[in-house]
Amino acid sequence: MSKVEVSRKTRETDIKVVLDLEGKGKCNINVDIGFFKHMLDSFCRHSGIFLNIIADGDLEVDFHHTVEDIGIVLGMAIDKALNDKKGINRFGWAIVPMDDSLSTVAIDLSGRPYLIYNVKFPTEKIKDFDVELFKEFFKALSDNAKMNLHILNNYGDNSHHIIESIFKAFAKAFKMAITKGNSNIIPSTKGVL
């Protein structure tokens, strides 16, 4: 695993991600979407990675393109940083509470993207952020990281607490999945991921 940089520019967004999976939870998130920035910062700190994101997007339209494209570029960076995946645990899972909310996340860095997203929010927005965009983010991320990702909110009454418990559980599961074990083999009976 190494430090990687991935950029993607379209007519709607310009995203640059610098990622080091062996970082120390230090991050610089330059995204003009306050609540989403807060969640990306939480992911970085609780997973222990180094993450720098610079994102410009057509926010005058809405947040959709920027949120989805950050998921795309972050996923591409994760895939690139994992390289051949030798020695990683591959699987990770976590159950994380946040006040009234409890969320479960399970990850398989299998090279096969798939998202199960079982989350219901009591509100449509958190401040000015449409909560439906979180599914778009995780779908783009799992597709481009080639990650099997299962997200379940077990229960919760507050939308802020629900998504924060999800991002923290995702961070902890991700940290477990990328952690190196004692061997230097590819964790698959196929010999390749």
Residue 84 pLDDT = 87
Mean pLDDT across 70-78 = 98
Burial class (CB in 10 A: 0-12, 13-18, 19+), 91: middle
Where in the chain are the domains? Answer: 3-178
Residue 1 pLDDT = 55
Which tokens in the block code for residue 150? 């299962």
Counting residues of the chain whose pLDDT is more than 70, the rounded percentage is 99
Between 133-145 and 159-178, two packed helices, what is the crossing angle to 10 degrees? 10
Q: Which position has the token pair 């390749």? A: 192
Mean pLDDT across 156-185 = 94
Prediction pTM value: 0.95
Strands (E), the chain: 3-9, 13-20, 27-30, 50-57, 91-98, 101-108, 114-118, 125-126, 129-130, 148-155
Phi, psi of 141 (to 5 degrees): -65, -50
Is the pLDDT reported for residue 177 higher than 60?
yes
Mean pLDDT across 98-125 = 98
Counting Cα atoms < 13 Å in the Cβ hemisphere of 57 gives 22
C-alpha–C-alpha distance, residues 69 and 8, integer Å: 8
Residue 108 pLDDT grade (very low, low, confident, very high; cuts 50, 70, 90): very high
The residue among 181, 161, 174 whose CA lies nearest residue 48 is 174
C-alpha–C-alpha distance, residues 44 and 26, integer Å: 7
Is the pLDDT reported for residue 18 higher than 70?
yes
C-alpha–C-alpha distance, residues 66 and 125, integer Å: 17
Residue 185 pLDDT = 82
Any idea of the CA torsion for 41, 50, 86, 149, to the nearest 10 degrees?
A: 10
Mean pLDDT across 47-74 = 97
Q: Are 64 and 129 in contact (CB under 8 A)?
A: no
Instruction: Please give the mean pLDDT across all residues of the chain.
Output: 95
Residue 188 pLDDT grade (very low, low, confident, very high; cuts 50, 70, 90): confident
Residue 190 pLDDT = 76
pLDDT: which is higher, 138 or 23: 138
CATH superfamily, with its number, for domain 3-178: Imidazole glycerol phosphate dehydratase; domain 1 (3.30.230.40)
